Chains A and B, each alone.
Chain A
């Protein structure tokens, strides 16, 4: 499964502005992790881990399309993929609009893979 997800997110995670891409389950468990700049991601990972459950709670219960958080020079974009999964992208906001468009395209391609058990 991780290989199939990897093939779908490869383009966006290889973007030079992206420092990490993590897919979280609704209970806060990270189910897929792709990190390009470990040291930078680690600093923000603790923040994300402590906040992710309440953020996901907002997304799923308030039907939010996306949440973005800016911490120092990093932007964290959280986009729901299915009823239980959210993709979070940590990136340097230098080509923000292009990246957001690309992220939405990736979400659409991940959805059929991740929405069904079989």
Chain B
């Protein structure tokens, strides 16, 4: 089972959606669309009758409603009013690092399967160094127990992903994407790249995206090679390959991922030459 993000074109790139009870990091500088991504994720949940929690350190419920209305997502505003989506704002000056109150709030309201958004995680951990890795790991474990989370992380304008407040969440998350906007308004000015997706296939490459009112983020995910299950199964039947690689290819053919017959033939060629 996968948790659809609702971001058009994105689920195809991560093998159908997020895995349940995972922490999924979205990294990007200011203006790349991290908050829109987060709200789109909650919007998809509303449409499936799921509950959601939105935790922010910068925006209160009123600001989230204004942004939702500007995107034409009135269902999201309604869901906030009838508490299908809970919005809470923690004031940065009151944040004691990895605040247990935040975890308690999530636990009390999630029932173990909510869509949780922490937007952004950076104010909580900006003063930390690499020694805090274990504490962030603990925080992520609590999030996993409460549902499937999107955690946004601010990329500093120094263009560095190696700072601990950026790299530790990436290391400890189940998936991480990197959104970038170089601001020229060209086709490839806004791009999205999947850094990792644990226990799942994900697409490689740099994918352009747009942000449009009503639709939110739309990713151009026209993968070149579509999965052809029949092709692989025919190949498995006809080819005289040993049972070990046959079993592995059979596993691959059951996954809905883009892989062509040509790639499989090439893999078989390499395997055969190694075992000759």
Contacts and interface: CB of A to CB of B under 8 A. Distances in A.
Task: Give the interface residue-count category, chain B.
Answer: 10 to 19
Given A1-B208, A29-B206, A31-B206, A84 B189 contact: yes
B224 interface: yes
A67 interface: no
Contacts of A83: 184, 186
B184 A3 contact: no
Contacts of A85: 186, 188
B188 A114 contact: yes
Per DSSP, chain B at the interface is loop
Interface of B: 159, 180, 182, 184-191, 205-208, 210, 220, 222, 224
Contacts of B189: 84, 117
Given A27-B180, A82-B186, A114-B188, 18 more contacts: A1-B220, A2-B220, A3-B222, A6-B224, A25-B206, A26-B182, A29-B206, A30-B206, A31-B206, A83-B186, A84-B186, A84-B188, A84-B189, A85-B186, A115-B187, A116-B185, A117-B185, A117-B186
A85 B191 CA distance: 13
A31 B188 contact: yes
Contact of A3 (B159, B180, B208, B224): B224
A113 interface: yes
B185 A1 contact: no
Contact of A2 (B180, B186, B205): B205
A78 B220 CA distance: 26
Given A1-B220, A2-B224, A3-B224, A118 B210 contact: yes
With a 10 A CB-CB cut-off, give which of B186, B189, B207 has the most chain A CB atoms: B186
